[in-house]
Amino acid sequence: MLVVTAAFADARGAHGLAFDALLGAIPFAAVSALAGFGDYLERREDAVGGLQALLWTLALALLVVSCAARSPETQTQTLPPLGASALVGCLAVLAIKLCVSALPYLRRVAVTAAKP
């Protein structure tokens, strides 16, 4: 939610609020990446869990890059191109995570609907 809030804040020109939202999202993404990696280490045969952990790590890296690019610009209320690009990349990674998470449920529905 914080990443989506940051995207809306950037669209409205509130770049300081977007920076604060992204800065607040970093600890949550870090904990999620560590928890996902821990789950993957416990069940190594679960490829989806490994992919989820990898995507959390990529989202965390993009959040840090976006915050680092925005940090010197918060006083001038401008949005550097790297900060905007990293935010869009993070939103794309989170969208991919959503699709990967929904895939098992869609398979279950498809198999149930296909049975006579």
pLDDT tens-digit readout, 72-88 = 876 777 888 999 999 99
Range of the domain at 79: 2-114
Task: Specify the number of domains making up the chain.
Answer: 1
Q: pLDDT band for position 71 (50/70/90)?
A: confident
Provide the 10 A C-beta neighbour count for residue 8. 12
pLDDT of residue 112: 72
In order of 46, 87, 88, 93, the CA distances from 61 in angstroms are: 23, 11, 13, 11
Closest by Cα among 58, 78, 67, 89 to 23: 67
Q: Are 96 and 89 in contact (CB under 8 A)?
A: no
Q: In whole angstroms, what is the distance from residue 8 CA to residue 10 CA? A: 5
Give the residue-averaged pLDDT of 33-58. 92
